[in-house]
Chains A and B, each alone.
Chain A
Amino acid sequence: MIETHELTKKYGDTVAVDHLTFSALPGRVTGFLGPNGAGKSTTMRMILGLDAPTSGSVTVNGTPYRQHHYPLHEVGALLEAKAIHPGRSSYNHLLAVAQSNGFGRRRVTQVLELVGLEDVARKRAGAYSLGMGQRLGIATALLGDPGVLLLDEPVNGLDPEGIIWVRNLLKALAAEGRTVFVSSHLMAEMALTADHLVVIGRGQLIADTSVADFVASASNGRVRVSSPDSPRLRQLIAEQATEVSPIEAGVDGESPSFTVSGLPRSAIGDLAFQQGIVVHELTSEEASLEDAFMELTADDVEFRAQDPNQPTPVQAVPLAATRKVLTP
């Protein structure tokens, strides 16, 4: 388990990480999401005791990282691909890391097979592609078979097959009861991999919520209704729904349509049936994680969404869910 409390990092006047409080729990993949420069890597380095926080605290399994002794058995990390001397082979790189914590050649061979690098293990790492570098970084993180894994942008530079491999690997590792904390700026990838999201922008927490809630909060429960008799249906629905959009003309012979908020699909369908109105479409407008993310990080005001005194359109929805998670 990883826990940060009011974690803050300042470089001069620049605040890279701003009073960040969240937990990454065992048994699930926690996606750490934010645009480039949001403070993800700085947070990762503070978790691992590489950078010292300006204020606040962070622990891994209840202990500040630098108080851990030989922690590879507890925590594994991938911070950057190809963080290896270009003249050293991946076998010797892994062996050096393994030996520092008491592991040996047998374990090195195991992780090389696990990531599929056994054929190039004796080659100098300078010739590796970015994808091979990522696999080597994942192998390094897995050396001690740790219960907590931190991976910074692990799918960067991987081919589609590699991306699927990482996705399945992370899910499998979490299913074994491990804490898997993985950062990414690729929202679509996180939608497929993560169970839980910690979203930051400009160093501040924007959301700490499940993937499903995060998407739902952005789509706002909108339903698209299309009917040949749209004007009459729209009028009937408007009496019950909180918000109804203007009618859009149908394209390619399709019926005109409009969107409804605050009324479930079932209620809309029942209403149309009772009134004998033909309905051609009745679909939930699910925002993608990407849409949700863009909406949340759209501008400066929304970065302060967690401030309850600051009424913003975003704050009302996702953060109610957020608070529950913060006090597990």
Chain B
Amino acid sequence: MSTITSPVFVSTVRPEHRPGIAGVARSEWTKIRSLRSTFWTFVVTAGLTIGLGSLFALGFTSGQVPFPADFNAAGFSFNGMILAQLAIGVLGVLIITTEYSSGMIRTTFTAVPQRGLVLAVKAVTFGSVTFVVSAATTFVTFFAAQAILSRGTVKHGVSLSSPHALRIVIGAALYLTLCALFGVALGALLRSTAAAITALAGLLFILPIVMGFLPVSWHRDAITRWLPANAGAQIMEKVTQPLQFSPWAGLAIFAGWVAVAFVAGLVLLRRRDV
């Protein structure tokens, strides 16, 4: 119809960096750091872990309850994580579901159509940041709680060089990181904030409680040890408890849960319309 006489378009704008995975990581880091809610959730997670850990240590030392012979002083530092794990897990959920609720996900996938790459880089970036924050938190928690446990005449606190202590402190940080990644995986799988948070709280928090009330004769303990939080928490045990997995095996099982949710999320992400 109309003859096209207009010039052939040549862009004069050049990228500053060669496009690649590093750029996608920079992009995801910008998304993480540019939200105040990210910062505050990290503060809440650290605050709950350090604060409740210290508070429980204080309560324990002030009581009349005699310390058990095999008292796990290092692991005792991390009782506050029962709430902190949910805070960091919810942040993991929000990292991806807010992209869906705002419509940003379409811009993200228009800019980088390789959806699996985006999800993987998002998880690695957020996981790395979470591990750094978590490790700082668990070390502070350990020293604070041990200082409190060492008060008085009977010193129950342990040092970092005591058997298993370093493994427990780093393991606690890994546990928090897995909770965060579990949130990301469930968020990618379910896309809705409410659904993903419900699933996360159900799997980490509610299911262990419900299962705890089942009759022992139903092979309760053989089943509950496979639950993500139960298996993962073994990394904070000094000695392997009866009917439980060893520390690293338990953590690996939790990682397996996260991996399964992640792969399911990845497969659906590539197939579904956004």
| Interfacial residues, chain A to chain B (CB-CB below 8 A) | 25-28, 45, 48-52, 65-73, 75, 77, 79-80, 82-89, 92-93, 95-104, 106-107, 110, 140, 144-147, 174-178, 195-196, 209-210, 213, 321, 324-325
Decide yes or no whether B7 CB sits under 8 A from chain A. yes
A218: min CB distance to chain B, Å: 17
Decide yes or no whether B106 CB sits under 8 A from chain A. yes
Q: Verify B37–A101 contact, CB threshold 8 A.
A: no
- Cα-based distance from A210 to B3 in the complex (angstroms): 12
Q: Verify A45–B273 contact, CB threshold 8 A.
A: yes
One of B27, B106, B113 near A99 (C-beta < 8 A): B27
Q: Verify A73–B11 contact, CB threshold 8 A.
A: yes
Residue of A nearest to B4 (CB): A27
Q: Verify B114–A87 contact, CB threshold 8 A.
A: no
Tell me what chain B mostly uses at the interface: helix, strand, loop, or mixed. Answer: loop
Q: Verify A96–B34 contact, CB threshold 8 A.
A: yes
Decide yes or no whether B274 CB sits under 8 A from chain A. yes
- Cα-based distance from A325 to B13 in the complex (angstroms): 32
Query: Chain B residues with Cβ under 8 A from A140's Cβ?
Result: 107
CB within 8 Å for A69 and B19 given contacts A89-B34, A92-B34, A195-B2: yes
Q: Verify B23–A28 contact, CB threshold 8 A.
A: no
- Cα-based distance from A100 to B107 in the complex (angstroms): 11
B57-65, B97-105, B159-167, B260-268 - interface stretch: B97-105
- Cα-based distance from A95 to B273 in the complex (angstroms): 25
A22: min CB distance to chain B, Å: 13
Could you jot down 30 A-B contacts, CB within 8 Å? A26-B8, A27-B6, A28-B4, A45-B274, A48-B110, A50-B106, A50-B273, A68-B113, A70-B19, A71-B111, A77-B107, A82-B103, A83-B104, A88-B31, A96-B27, A97-B27, A100-B27, A101-B112, A102-B15, A102-B16, A102-B17, A102-B20, A102-B23, A144-B11, A145-B11, A145-B13, A176-B9, A177-B8, A195-B2, A325-B1
Q: Verify A87–B36 contact, CB threshold 8 A.
A: yes
Query: Chain B residues with Cβ under 8 A from A175's Cβ?
Result: 6
Q: Verify A65–B103 contact, CB threshold 8 A.
A: no
Query: Chain B residues with Cβ under 8 A from A106's Cβ?
Result: 16
- Cα-based distance from A31 to B24 in the complex (angstroms): 33
Query: Chain B residues with Cβ under 8 A from A80's Cβ?
Result: 103, 106
CB within 8 Å for A100 and B1 given contacts A50-B106, A84-B102, A87-B37: no
- Cα-based distance from A50 to B28 in the complex (angstroms): 20
Q: Verify A92–B16 contact, CB threshold 8 A.
A: no
